[in-house]
A = this chain, B = another copy of it.
Amino acid sequence: MNKKHQSWYIIVNICIWVFTFHVSIIYAQSEQNVYTPAEKLTVVGKIVPTPKPFQRVDTLQYSELPSNVKERVVHSAGIAISFVTNSTQITAKWCTEGSPTSATMTEVAYRGMDLYIKKDGQWVYAGVARPQVGKECFSTTLARYMDTEEKECLLYLPLYNEATSVSIGVEENAYIRPGKQPFKKRILIYGSSIVQGAAASRPGMAYPARLSRMTGLNFLNLGMGASAKMEKPVADMIAEMQADAFILDCVPNSSPEEITQRTAYLIRTIRQNHPDAPIIVMQSVFRESGNFNLRTEANVAQQNENILEEVEKLKRSGIESLYFIPSDDFLGDDHEGSVDGTHPTDLGFDRMLQVIEPRIMEILKMEL
């Protein structure tokens, strides 16, 4: 071989080696995880069918909704993916759309996800999907080094962004199948950022999600941060939705005057379309910022007085199966249950659940 030939020979060999090396890396990676689009598995927590699978409401269908409501109801809060797998490792790729996180929420709650797996009949925390700062699409390993037993899994989608795409990865030699719908009936919760899950540490800790895992009933999250003001188009939309029961936790966002003006329309409109469905109205959680802020303290007191008055009036006017949960001690008595004086943390939610869960279940057992 002359020198020229020798050089070519070396170059060609290097190219072949580089090509083979890269192909083998790509192959090894694709061998590790096979991805399934989440919409091909079982989508849990949907309020209505929508063209985009991880939105809660199709805003094109409800053009009269206020713009801030439209912004919130496309968030994936309360939506989860149910699947079954025997993979020892579960990964995910996902993209989100929406505004960046707030200073009082974690990125994981805002744009991330968390995984639960059933163990001895109980949904148990298994892993968390951390979004990476400055990106809109992410990938992560949620759980690894597990045994090969078949597992029922539930992956909660982001609370405060829309998940525009979600894929779940399992090892190539494992299977993944759509899971069962894990929760029964349909109980719609309409409310503020507190329902949407604003200061939960991760999506599965929002209080409707916890209620579902605790009770086995399907609590549907229609929380809309800063925007649950009982406007007429929202009331009309809610009344159209299919549900076995309605929980209204919309006092925190509505001014005392709005509560007086709008509560009757909301409840009467729901009752018209759902003659027998129980309607449970919750007072506003006490705002801990009102510990010293005299205006906040007075405002919450007035909101809670007005909602009680409205519900009493509606009951007297003959509306049946209408229930009221007062907010006494929702957050305990040490004032440590909120992140910012407004939004309950996981601790605040836990204390709130200790009060509302038995009361809600008592009503639902009687009514459903």
Contact = CB atoms under 8 A, between A and B. Distances in A.
A321 interface: no
B340 A108 contact: yes
Contacts of A334: 122
A292 interface: yes
A269 interface: no
Identical subunits present: 2
A340 B128 contact: yes
A294 interface: yes
A27 interface: no
B145 A128 contact: no
Interface stretch (A17-25, A40-48, A199-207): A199-207
A152 to B, nearest CB: 12
A146 B292 contact: yes
Contacts of A348: 346
Contacts of A346: 336-337, 345-348
A98 B335 CA distance: 30
Interface residues of A, number: 55
A203 to B, nearest CB: 11
A177 interface: no
B336 A294 contact: no
Interface in A330-366: 334-341, 345-350
Contacts of A335: 124-125
Contacts of A212: none
A313 interface: no
Interface stretch (A65-73, A99-107, A217-225): A99-107
Contact of A341 (B101, B125, B131, B132): B125
Interface of A: 100-108, 112, 117, 119, 122, 124-128, 130-133, 143-147, 151, 199, 201-202, 205, 210, 288-289, 291-296, 334-341, 345-350
Q: Top 3 closest A-B pairs, CB basis?
A: A103-B130, A103-B107, A346-B347
Given A124-B292, A125-B288, A337-B346, 11 more contacts: A103-B131, A103-B132, A104-B106, A105-B106, A119-B292, A126-B292, A127-B292, A130-B340, A143-B289, A143-B293, A336-B350
